[in-house]
């Protein structure tokens, strides 16, 4: 490929290995995001779909299908499906979170309006549904219908759990499975299912996606306090937005009564003052919450890699393993 | 049934004839709107689902299946699917329209917040998708996936078309097919498809639902100016919200330059003053726009009834015919 394995990031190597199929996916996405009657739809969609996301989720589907020796056309449909579902949830998330920036650019709700983001999200979700129906696989439809319900349920759960100090690690995991891991695990599983892979293989693909997705979200939440990655996020965004994530959950679990009062005031009541973020960072350090969160992320990465052992030996499989390492290596 | 055909409304007679199946639908809806993890979901859903809607759309599915002699269990799933899709679109519509009232009660976005309405809508749409997968019919999935895309496309089109005086009757029809008729026609068609009805019958069912849905929406838009129905709407809501509907489109088409300036100011620019609604009503009267709109509605009702002629003779079929008459009879 002409790519130096030592310096090129593993998802870039995967992208190069899947280049032909990825370009088919991109072309299908462009065709299907069109709308004969409502030009607002492709405008809004293009803003997000062509913003240079890594296409990690569709790559997972293509990779799974390739490892399982699939030679039909429908992994392309499924990869586009997964990207459409992802884009639809981003559009709705940005309205729900009242976000103004995504991937370093203004969000669609800011450039157009909330109405467009809501309705174009609904449209993309419907289009994803049409794409999966075209595969003719009821099992694929079943997996993606369940994933969609888990995603929406996780998002609703987050609404009530994010500012409630009673939220523990189990509830956090539930939210993360919904908002992130459900689409990762569906993406990998359907790649195996469409290839007709045996149950232990599709199960392993599900487990890889599930663990990778959880790892990915934990790292995302950790970087919000750790801040060493070029995420475009500012340190403490989640704190300012009063989002209870794993590092804070760990610190709250070890809090004395004075510390608990601090978290109640800043997260539950949202009454924040100058110096609060610095104090929060001190408390996270005092209880080793960031290191403990990083250890959890490493565990999930190890789980993801161990799931891969049930899959046929394949260079793509090794790239998936490297991706699991790379996700945690973002925290450095 | 003990119901007096002369005074009981036709949808009430249909509801009585389908009472057993409707109660199965209601019970399935209650089961499936539950969420193990996020109690906010059934709270929001119950507010809308149990607000005493007429369940017209699920009844159409049950009626179609009955007329086609279906004796399996899946018309119940499909009727619940249709009601979930309808409820999901209402939740999103109320956010998009910033509505505070629906069926005479405060909307979910007012009682909870926009976030809950968006995400619970997404959840219900996913649940509807799970229900249809359970039927095991790819043709049903195809019809409902296409209907969902048409609904969302119609809603987006409405965003840009509603305040644009260039919107003509063809674009209005496109919007109405999306926002209303697509779910009516899918509801009737899938009832026939699940029963294994022959193509001319499922085509006739589609046509009935399509024409009835268009008729229904035209009458709704007409009543906003006509005001003789107990809709709970105030005369002129659409005018105040700057929604270009069929009566105004007809008046704009016949407007002289002074009248056109009036519509530009009030609808396009949204610059409204005391007395504008009265003037708008005068212009609608001057050009016979309300009578012409009512004539269109009567035509669609006649089309709906004529589609029914391709269906097997059945008392339920006659009730569907009466419903088409009744929809227009609301304008009196």
Residues 6+ apart with CB under 8 A from A89: A121, A151, A155, A179, A183
The pLDDT tens digits of the residues spanning B271-330 come to: 999 999 999 999 999 999 999 999 999 999 999 999 999 999 999 999 999 999 999 998
- Phi, psi for residue B19 in degrees, rounded to 5: -55, -45
CB within 8 Å: B38 and A160: yes
CB within 8 Å: B38 and A157: yes
For residue B329, tell me if it sits in a domain: no
Under the banding of pLDDT at 50, 70 and 90, the label for residue A24 is very high
Return the minimum-mean-pLDDT range out of A301-310, B128-137, B139-148, B323-332. B323-332
A326 shares contact with chain B (CB less than 8 Å)? no
Distance from CA of B196 to the nearest CA of A (A): 19
* Residues B113 and B171 placed together within one structural domain of the fold: no
Return the minimum-mean-pLDDT range out of A43-47, A277-281, B150-154. A43-47
Helices (H), B4-39: 10-17, 19-32
* Whether pLDDT at B4 is above 80: no
Instruction: Give the tokens for residue B236.
Output: 């002129």
Under the banding of pLDDT at 50, 70 and 90, the label for residue B98 is confident
* Whether pLDDT at B75 is above 90: yes
Nearest-CB residue to A142 (from B133, B142, B155): B133
* Residue B113, pLDDT score: 83
Under the banding of pLDDT at 50, 70 and 90, the label for residue B190 is very high
* Whether pLDDT at B154 is above 90: yes
* Residues B101 and B238 placed together within one structural domain of the fold: no
Mean residue pLDDT of chain B comes to 92
* Residues B88 and B162 placed together within one structural domain of the fold: no
The pLDDT tens digits of the residues spanning B13-47 come to: 999 999 999 999 999 999 998 887 888 888 888 88
Q: Is B236 left (phi over 0), alpha (psi -120 to 50) or beta?
A: left
**A20 CB burial (10 A radius; 0-12, 13-18, 19+):** exposed
With CA atoms as reference, the chain B residue closest to A115 would be B96
Q: Count structural domains, chain B.
A: 2
- Length of chain A, in residues: 332
Mean residue pLDDT of chain A comes to 92
Instruction: Give the tokens for residue A124.
Output: 């993309």
* Whether pLDDT at B79 is above 50: yes
Q: Is B267 left (phi over 0), alpha (psi -120 to 50) or beta?
A: alpha
The CATH number for B71's domain is 1.10.600.10
Compute the C-alpha angle A318/A203/B135, nearest 5°: 135
**CA separation for the pair A122, A109 (Å, rounded):** 14
* Residues B198 and B53 placed together within one structural domain of the fold: no
A162 shares contact with chain B (CB less than 8 Å)? no
Under the banding of pLDDT at 50, 70 and 90, the label for residue B123 is very high
- pLDDT average, residue stretch B191-220: 98
Residue range of the domain that includes B162: 157-313
Pairing relationship of beta strands A105-106 and B101-102 according to DSSP bridges? unpaired
- pLDDT average, residue stretch A254-283: 96
* Whether pLDDT at A4 is above 70: no
* Residues B178 and B55 placed together within one structural domain of the fold: no
* Residues B172 and B308 placed together within one structural domain of the fold: yes
Angle between helices B276-286 and B289-307 (to 10 degrees): 60
* Whether pLDDT at B48 is above 80: no
DSSP per residue over A88-129, as a string? HHHHHHHHHTT-SEETTEE-HHHHS-HHHHHHHHHHHHHHHH
* Whether pLDDT at B49 is above 80: no
For residue B150, tell me if it sits in a domain: no
Angle between helices B276-286 and B199-226 (to 10 degrees): 130
* Residues B168 and B108 placed together within one structural domain of the fold: no
Report the percentage of chain A scoring pLDDT > 70.
96
* Residue B2, pLDDT score: 44
């Amino acid at each position: 490929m002409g790519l130096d394995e030592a310096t090129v990031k593993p998802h870039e190597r995967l992208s190069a290995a899947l280049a032909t199929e990825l370009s088919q996916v991109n072309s299908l996405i462009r065709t299907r995001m069109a709308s004969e009657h409502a030009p607002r739809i492709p405008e809004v969609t293009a803003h997000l779909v062509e913003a240079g996301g890594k296409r990690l989720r569709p790559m997972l589907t293509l990779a799974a299908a390739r490892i399982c020796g699939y030679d039909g056309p429908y992994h392309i449909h499924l990869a586009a499906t997964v990207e459409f579902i992802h884009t639809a949830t981003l559009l709705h998330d940005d309205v729900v979170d009242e976000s103004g920036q995504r991937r370093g650019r203004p969000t669609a709700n800011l450039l157009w309006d909330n109405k467009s983001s809501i309705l174009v999200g609904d449209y993309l979700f419907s289009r994803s549904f049409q794409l999966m129906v075209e595969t003719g696989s009821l099992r694929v439809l079943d997996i993606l219908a369940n994933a969609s319900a888990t995603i929406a349920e996780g998002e609703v759960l987050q609404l009530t759990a994010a500012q409630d100090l009673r939220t523990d690690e189990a509830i956090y995991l539930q939210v993360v499975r919904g908002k992130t891991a459900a689409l990762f695990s569906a993406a990998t599983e359907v790649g195996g299912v469409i290839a007709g892979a045996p149950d232990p293989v599709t199960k392993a693909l599900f487990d890889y996606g599930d663990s990778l997705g959880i790892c990915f979200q934990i790292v995302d939440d950790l970087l919000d306090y750790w801040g060493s990655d070029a995420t475009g996020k500012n340190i403490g965004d989640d704190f300012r937005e009063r989002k209870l994530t794993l590092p804070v959950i760990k610190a709250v679990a070890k809090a004395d009564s004075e510390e608990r009062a601090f978290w109640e005031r800043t997260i539950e009541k949202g009454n924040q003052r100058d110096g609060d973020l610095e104090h929060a960072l001190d408390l996270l350090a005092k209880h080793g919450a960031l290191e403990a969160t990083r250890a959890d992320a490493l565990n999930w990465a190890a789980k993801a890699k161990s799931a891969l052992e049930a899959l046929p030996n394949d260079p793509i499989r090794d790239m998936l393993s490297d991706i699991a390492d790379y996700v945690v290596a973002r925290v450095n």
